[in-house]
A and B are shown apart, each in its own frame.
Chain A
């Protein structure tokens, strides 16, 4: 799948005199952004698509992941001849600020001290992540992106782009996103954070200097979160009450297949993710409330984005960011006079459906992109 893909990997470095000024008032000096590109930028630099990754995603969109050896998280979507066709578009994906795959985050070395930031890393917001992406896009010499695309937290970033840089992109795709984190969303994240912080190896976030890792806490956080990415129907279909071995153990081993699956999800996650990054990124999501920054009126956030072509997707079985969240976005876009389309995809796979095989989604996405490309003269 990824064999023929034309890809490049780089780190964009920003000089200390060009800091990332954060929403909190703090700043990050000497920002580094790790990113990947796929396909080729055309002569007039008009075919670039920025893909924004989700909470635990990264810039390895369509290439084999260097740590896990697995295909990139959107390998089935991004590539030559695929929905986001790299023969046609130049696709950029960067690791978010606060992340742990090369972009400056809590596990990076603080240039001022030469030691890992840990909890001295400033709390970042969705707007900060998007501001960093905008710096990268600018450094790549791209004035206007053809599209900004993202699912879940990536979808939130797409909305943030619409609020902050509406003149810098032509079209936008927000999949299974939301314009703010609900109480339930925050509650689940808090469980995850508490699991990490309860791990004795977390050491108040200073574990890197002390040479340990809060793997147990991070794994539990991942297990809890992973349940929210699936639907009850999907869990039931995949596992039901199936046992690992014949008969019950009458103990607390992973008797059920679903337990073993979750344990595996937790254990493999800690190999590729940093616990403090998990705290920072979930915090940025919890703080996300696009309307709040615009007088409580979401439509105001999109006021300057009325020339952008939007397409919003939700899934019927997504209970993490359910359809009404997407409808609210569409309603606000309509109120702002933007060109908004919306499709609710029938799927029982839950929130993570955008990472899985969803032919109806891909064909709608392809149709939208192709028509937009035509309107853009690509």
Chain B
């Protein structure tokens, strides 16, 4: 799910030398990339002990925990960026998590699959089945996504939480990220997955 395109775009957006919290950092690939290319002072939050162990061996500082319950334990404004890559639909309280990210960090970078993508709509319309796409590759009974949304849903939530979208890009597997205007209706059809740079208004 966390494609290279995703990482490349995140690396591009982050200012050199900043402090970054990667929520759901896995084995620390992104944090390592950020440290190497942007001199970032990184921290991670990861749910699995195996992931944390792999991060430790890479010399990264990572806390075992999950986005739903453990973001609250971080102090306010401790980071310049909090990154949540393709994980928001999997948390129990997405609204709370988004709010927490922007309490901990000045800016949040959030990416998520777009349930408004035309192929998703077509699957439902024509076949009446839950869609299987490269952004949503797992069948309904196996996916960890419990709070899927469209780009439009997400921009609505950002409005509700008074968050500015400073940048937005469409992500498609195998292709470079493409900047987009998130509120244009056509983009809600076209973007398979989208990445947002957010800041409190």
Contact residues of A with B, CB < 8 Å? 309, 311, 327, 330-331, 334-335, 337, 339-346, 360, 363-364, 366-368, 370-372, 374-375
Contacts and interface: CB of A to CB of B under 8 A. Distances in A.
A374 B57 CA distance: 11
A371 B62 contact: no
A341 B52 contact: yes
Contact of B73 (A327, A343, A346, A363): A327
B161 interface: no
A340 B59 contact: no
Interface in B29-66: 43, 49-50, 52-65
A371 B57 contact: yes
A372 B59 contact: yes
A334 B73 contact: yes
A360 B50 CA distance: 8
A371 B70 CA distance: 25
A374 B75 CA distance: 29
A41 to B, nearest CB: 24
A246 B119 CA distance: 70
B63 A334 contact: yes
B53 A339 contact: no
A343 B52 contact: yes
Nearest to A335: B75
B186 interface: no
B74 A334 contact: yes
6 contacts: A345-B49, A363-B53, A368-B57, A371-B56, A371-B58, A375-B59
* Interface core residue of A311, A360, A367, A375 (most chain B CB under 10 Å): A367
Contact of B64 (A335, A343, A367, A370): A343
**Chain B interface main SS type:** mixed
Contacts, number: 67
A340 B53 contact: no
A309 B53 contact: no
Interface string B71-93: 00111001000000000000000
B18 to A, nearest CB: 15
Given A331-B73, A335-B75, A368-B56, A341 B49 contact: no
A98 B58 CA distance: 40
Contacts of B50: 360
Nearest to A327: B73
A85 to B, nearest CB: 15
A346 B49 CA distance: 8
B57 A370 contact: yes
Given A364-B56, A367-B53, 6 more contacts: A339-B61, A341-B52, A343-B64, A360-B50, A367-B54, A367-B57
A364 B49 contact: yes
B58 A364 contact: no
B61 A309 contact: yes
A374 B78 CA distance: 26
A366 B59 CA distance: 11
Contact of A330 (B58, B59, B63, B75): B63
A331 B104 CA distance: 13
Nearest to A312: B63
Contacts of A364: 49, 52-53, 56
Contacts of B65: 327, 342
Nearest to B73: A331
A375 B58 CA distance: 11
Contacts of B70: 327
A334 B57 contact: no
A327 B71 CA distance: 12
8 nearest A-B pairs in the assembled complex, by CB-CB distance: A367-B57, A371-B59, A364-B53, A331-B73, A367-B56, A368-B56, A342-B63, A339-B61
A330 B73 contact: yes
